[in-house]
């Protein structure tokens, strides 16, 4: 009869943890990959054999009563006989390589989802609510996520006996190595559904169409993502839902163009209005406002309406509304109009204006582009 306690260097009343620690210490020193000598290989076989017996409660109890499972093999059986490969991995990596025991849960967290929503510029300015309809995974209304047809249940898998795993013995350079893999009969769950739900085929969830109301904060822009916790796909087995991410796309506006938190638009003015000055009504997102055109307004001048722009997403401070003047010069004049302009030119001494040449000024969009380029 082999002296397994002596091989591991532990007392007969050693605890399972003491036995495991002793085996790990010896295995690290004697394993053939670490110590290739023949003597170390023989010692490793004895150590592995001893741990196979003393590391198993049933085998240890039988050994203490005088039964040696390796006695018939002459005490020199190849190491790894009836020995799990995960125990070797456990010895070197502290359990990192060992298979995770126990069946896996049918309840899984659902996946996150990403969908897009189009909003008007006015919603981006003040915020609002948008109704969103989309297809997603929802809990089965028949079995309520259980997966079994109502009135039926589940039974323990006959193949793995509820462990969710099966073991196989394979021959390798270590001898006979025991490997563990998920049970194919129950897919690793440890239990089998007797009569799957006809509505979800045992998944506990189905595809369906949902409609929710999304609160859009003020200041969002194209590309902004809104996270809705728990509004994504419901998990298998009635598991918790993932998150829903709503990506915002802002529609183009007929009048205003957004640049950061400011809004821009242009107004076309007759030459006389630009020269004399006037006030023009403009329909803004805050209602109708008068745009005061100062006397002598030049092409490209900008009139600023403070606080009528977009609300900043975080600070909630609003930007400005900038109106760009575009002065329209008449191209066709009747004789009376032409005579009046000639009289005006004469009165102002501009019949033969003094030429002042300079470089070409940028137009409206060129000025806008330059204004937002880094300097």
DSSP state of 99: P
Task: Please indicate, yes or no, whether residues 25 and 73 belong to a single structural domain of this protein.
Answer: yes
Question: Does residue 172 lie within any of the structural domains?
Answer: no
Q: Which helix (H) or strand (E) covers residue 259, if one does?
A: strand 257-259
List the domain range (segments joined by +) for residue 137. 113-152+194-250
Q: Is 261 strand, coil or helix?
A: coil
Question: Does residue 60 lie within any of the structural domains?
Answer: yes
Domain termination site, one of 220, 250, 280: 250
Task: Please indicate, yes or no, whether residues 309 and 348 belong to a single structural domain of this protein.
Answer: yes
Q: Length of the chain, please?
A: 375
Concatenate the DSSP letters of all residues of 28-48 into one string. HHH-TTT---HHHHHHHHHHH
Task: Please indicate, yes or no, whether residues 271 and 203 belong to a single structural domain of this protein.
Answer: no
Residue for token pair 């204004």: 371
Sign of CA dihedral 121, 124, 126, 130: positive
Parallel/antiparallel/unpaired status of strands 257-259 and 262-270: antiparallel
Question: Does residue 364 lie within any of the structural domains?
Answer: yes
Question: Does residue 265 lie within any of the structural domains?
Answer: yes
Task: Please indicate, yes or no, whether residues 234 and 297 belong to a single structural domain of this protein.
Answer: no
Distance from CA of residue 207 to its chain's centroid?
A: 21
Residue 37 confidence (pLDDT): 81
Question: Does residue 44 lie within any of the structural domains?
Answer: yes
Question: Does residue 289 lie within any of the structural domains?
Answer: yes
Q: Give every CB contact of residue 73 below 8 A, 6+ residues apart in sequence.
A: 81
Q: Give every CB contact of residue 8 below 8 A, 6+ residues apart in sequence.
A: 19, 22, 23, 26, 47, 50, 51, 54
CATH number (domain holding residue 12): 1.10.287.110
Per-residue pLDDT of the chain (375 residues; tens, 9 = 90+): 788 888 889 888 888 888 888 888 888 788 766 777 888 778 888 888 888 888 888 788 778 777 777 764 443 333 334 444 444 544 444 444 334 557 888 888 999 999 999 999 999 999 999 999 999 999 999 999 889 999 888 899 988 888 888 877 666 555 666 778 888 888 889 999 989 999 998 899 999 999 999 999 999 999 999 999 999 999 998 899 999 999 999 999 999 999 999 999 999 999 999 999 999 999 999 999 999 999 999 999 999 999 999 999 888 899 999 999 999 988 888 999 889 988 988 888 877 877 677 776 555 556 656 655 554
Task: Please indicate, yes or no, whether residues 233 and 272 belong to a single structural domain of this protein.
Answer: no
Which tokens belong to 154?
């589940």
Parallel/antiparallel/unpaired status of strands 244-250 and 225-228: antiparallel
Task: Please indicate, yes or no, whether residues 261 and 244 belong to a single structural domain of this protein.
Answer: no
Task: Please indicate, yes or no, whether residues 140 and 246 belong to a single structural domain of this protein.
Answer: yes
Q: Which residues pair with 84 in a beta bridge?
A: 178
Which tokens belong to 138?
């929802």
Task: Please indicate, yes or no, whether residues 231 and 275 belong to a single structural domain of this protein.
Answer: no
Task: Please indicate, yes or no, whether residues 75 and 17 belong to a single structural domain of this protein.
Answer: yes
Note the helical H segments in 192-348.
271-276, 335-347
Instruction: Tell whether 265 is in a known binding site.
Output: no
Question: Does residue 101 lie within any of the structural domains?
Answer: no
Please state, in angstroms and as integers, the Cα–Cα distance from residue 281 to each residue in 117, 267, 284, following that order: 33, 11, 9
Task: Please indicate, yes or no, whether residues 318 and 365 belong to a single structural domain of this protein.
Answer: yes
Please state, in angstroms and as integers, the Cα–Cα distance from residue 88 to each residue in 37, 46, 190, 267, following that order: 19, 14, 26, 81
CATH number (domain holding residue 240): 2.60.260.20
CA distance 235 to 57: 39
Residue 97 confidence (pLDDT): 39
Domain termination site, one of 207, 233, 250: 250
Please state, in angstroms and as integers, the Cα–Cα distance from residue 303 to each residue in 125, 292, 295, 300, 320, following that order: 20, 8, 12, 10, 10
Question: Does residue 181 lie within any of the structural domains?
Answer: no
Q: Maximum Cα–Cα distance for the chain, whole Å?
A: 131
Query: For the chain, what is the domain count?
Result: 3
Q: What is the side-by-side order of every strand in the sheet holding 257-259?
A: 257-259, 262-270, 321-328, 302-305
Domain termination site, one of 250, 271, 286: 250
For the chain, what is the radius of gyration of the CA atoms?
41
Task: Please indicate, yes or no, whether residues 211 and 141 belong to a single structural domain of this protein.
Answer: yes
Q: What's the first-to-final CA gap in the chain, in angstroms?
A: 88
Task: Please indicate, yes or no, whether residues 221 and 301 belong to a single structural domain of this protein.
Answer: no
CA distance 118 to 6: 76
């Amino acid at each position: 009869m082999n002296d397994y306690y002596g091989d591991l260097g532990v007392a007969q009343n050693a605890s399972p943890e003491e036995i495991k620690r002793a085996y790990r210490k010896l295995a690290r020193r004697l394993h053939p990959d670490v110590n290739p000598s023949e003597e170390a290989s023989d010692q490793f076989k004895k150590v592995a054999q001893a741990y196979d017996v003393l590391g198993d409660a049933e085998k240890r109890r039988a050994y203490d009563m005088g039964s040696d499972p390796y006695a018939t093999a002459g005490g020199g059986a190849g190491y790894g006989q009836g020995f799990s490969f995960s125990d070797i991995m456990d010895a070197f990596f502290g359990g990192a390589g060992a298979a995770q025991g126990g069946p896996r849960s049918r309840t899984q967290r659902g996946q996150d989802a990403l969908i897009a929503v189009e909003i008007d510029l006015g919603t981006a300015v003040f915020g609002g609510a948008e109704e969103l309809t989309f297809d997603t995974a929802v809990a089965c209304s028949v079995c309520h996520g259980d997966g079994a047809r109502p009135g039926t249940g589940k039974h323990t898998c006959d193949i793995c006996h509820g462990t969710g795993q099966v073991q196989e013995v394979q021959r390798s350079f270590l001898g006979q190595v025991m490997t563990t893999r998920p049970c194919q009969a129950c897919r690793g769950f440890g239990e089998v559904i007797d009569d799957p739900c006809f509505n979800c085929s045992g998944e506990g969830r189905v595809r369906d169409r949902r409609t929710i109301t999304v609160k859009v904060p003020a200041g969002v822009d194209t590309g902004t993502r809104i996270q809705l916790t728990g509004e994504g796909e419901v998990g298998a087995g009635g598991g918790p839902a993932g998150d829903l991410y709503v990506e915002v796309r802002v529609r183009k506006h007929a009048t205003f163009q957004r640049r950061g938190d400011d809004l821009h638009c242009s107004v076309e003015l007759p030459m006389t209005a630009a020269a004399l000055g006037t006030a023009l009504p403009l329909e803004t997102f805050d209602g109708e406002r008068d745009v005061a055109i100062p006397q002598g307004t030049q092409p490209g001048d900008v009139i600023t309406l403070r606080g009528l722009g977009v609300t900043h997403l975080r600070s909630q401070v609003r930007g400005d509304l900038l109106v760009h003047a575009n002065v329209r010069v008449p191209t066709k004049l009747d004789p009376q109009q032409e005579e009046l302009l000639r009289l005006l030119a004469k009165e102002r001494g501009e019949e033969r204006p003094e030429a002042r040449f300079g470089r070409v000024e940028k137009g409206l969009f060129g000025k806008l582009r330059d204004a937002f380029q880094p300097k």
